[in-house]
Structure 1
Amino acid sequence: MGVEIIYHPLRSVKGMWVPDRNLILIRPKMRSFVERSVLAHEIVHAEYGDPAGHSAKHETRANRIAARRLINPREWAELTRLYTDGDKICQDLGVTRELFEAYLNTGRSAA
């Protein structure tokens, strides 16, 4: 895709798509599951050529697609059958609560 990814000390966000520079900024020193989730989210913004800023429509789409890419439907089904604790499920899936909720709210394994 030709997108550059740079670790940069962001204050108010964990990641940021900078379309005019074809660049994704990622806050350094995050836990690996957070970094993975944030990067997947920002990549969706890059793929869709989203403008700078946070539109609810673009954020919802980025979360939904990132969640579908990172969460295995079979693993989801197994973990949700075993546990009722969403945080435990997130930990085992290796995703943030935000992506967990996006997956949950979009019909789970629907394409």
Structure 2
Amino acid sequence: MTYVIAEPCVDVLDKACIEECPVDCIYEGERMLYIHPDECVDCGACEPVCPVEAIYFDDDVPAEWASYTQANVDFFAELGSPGGAAKTGKTSNDPEMITRLPVRAVEGEQP
């Protein structure tokens, strides 16, 4: 595992991190974004551009969001390693722990 996207991303999906990623390893689920652990090159370009501070190096994920490390792994269980998020597009692979979260209203949108 390299970088992990945690709870602040749920229902936000800003995508600034996708634009910064030089290796196209940030994939979009229905409710949040996920970093492919085998495709990420640990460059850290995504972390500073995240407007909700949801991206952490795996060793730095706050304890309250530790389960998001596994959620990032689980997202790719069926998807595998497609070799690039752009060609994959949005998927419905969100792990159950994410799909069961209450929908959060995002500023300017209706829940």
Is TM-score (shorter-chain normalized) higher than 0.5?
Answer: no
Normalised TM-score (structure 2): 0.33
More relative contact order, 1 or 2 (CA 8 Å, 6+ apart):
2
Q: Which has the larger radius of gyration?
A: 1
More helix as a share of residues: 1
